[in-house]
Amino acid sequence: MLHVTAIDLEQWADRITSSSDLPRLLAKLIWASASGLSKLDMPGGEFTRLCGFDGIVECRTGDDMVPKGISAWELSVEKRIATKAERDYVKRTNDPRELDPKPA
């Protein structure tokens, strides 16, 4: 079994390739663990530089890690987590793009 610590993740996040690898790794985790997926769009590599959400997931069943319905994902390896989260929240509140933020 692979054991990964918080220190391992912090050191990995400092790598130049971490921001382009993160969506690919997260997509693999979602694919392996979530049931009822009908959409998993989380491109990595050079596609991480495109505007828009970092990932869109649609799940018919949902669980503790992947919500039921359509969810938009913003990812980051930045150290200033609160700053990044606030910036993304303001950006997506002002422009939710293709998603309807109103509850279904």
Per residue of the chain (104 residues), give pLDDT as tens: 788 999 998 899 999 999 999 999 999 999 999 999 999 999 998 888 888 889 999 999 989 999 999 999 999 888 898 998 999 899 888 888 878 777 65
φ and ψ at residue 63, rounded to 5 degrees: -160, -165
Extents of the domains making up the chain: 6-94
CB 45 within 8 A of CB 19: no
DSSP 20: H
Tell me which residue of 48, 51, 95, 98 sits closest to 71, measured CA to CA.
Answer: 98
CB 18 within 8 A of CB 26: no
